[in-house]
């Protein structure tokens, strides 16, 4: 599991970006949230853990779990 912080999340469009500890920005959508984290209000600076899925368009954060609220 990698760690990072939410850099941006658009609640209306349902997607955002996570800045990983390595400094990479990873795309994620509300569908990529772990079931236990789906009821948390996502905001900038929120610490998260996630897995990375390699896709043709680039790396994507999946199984995103909120570590602190």
DSSP output for the chain: -EEEEEEEEETTTTEEEEEETTS-EEEEEGGGB-GGGTTS---TT-EEEEEEEEETTEEEEEEEEE---
Is 3's pLDDT higher than 70?
yes
Give the pLDDT confidence of 37-52 residue by residue, as tens digits. Answer: 888 899 999 999 999 9
Separation in Å, CA 69 to CA 2, 24, 32: 18, 22, 18
Ordered by start, the domain boundaries in the chain are 2-66
pLDDT at 47: 96
Q: Which CATH architecture has domain 2-66?
A: Beta Barrel (2.40)
User: What's residue 69's pLDDT?
Assistant: 59
Is residue 65's pLDDT more than 80? yes
Q: Which tens digits make up the pLDDT trace of 14-40?
A: 999 999 999 999 999 999 999 988 888
pLDDT at 21: 94
Would you say 34 and 26 are in contact if contact means Cβ atoms under 8 Å apart?
no
């Amino acid at each position: 599991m990698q760690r990072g912080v939410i850099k941006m999340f658009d609640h209306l469009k349902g997607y955002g970006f996570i800045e990983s500890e390595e400094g990479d920005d990873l795309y994620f959508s509300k569908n990529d949230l772990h079931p236990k984290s789906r009821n948390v209000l996502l905001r900038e600076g929120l610490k998260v853990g996630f897995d990375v899925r390699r896709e043709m368009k680039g790396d994507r954060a999946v199984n995103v779990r909120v570590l602190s609220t």
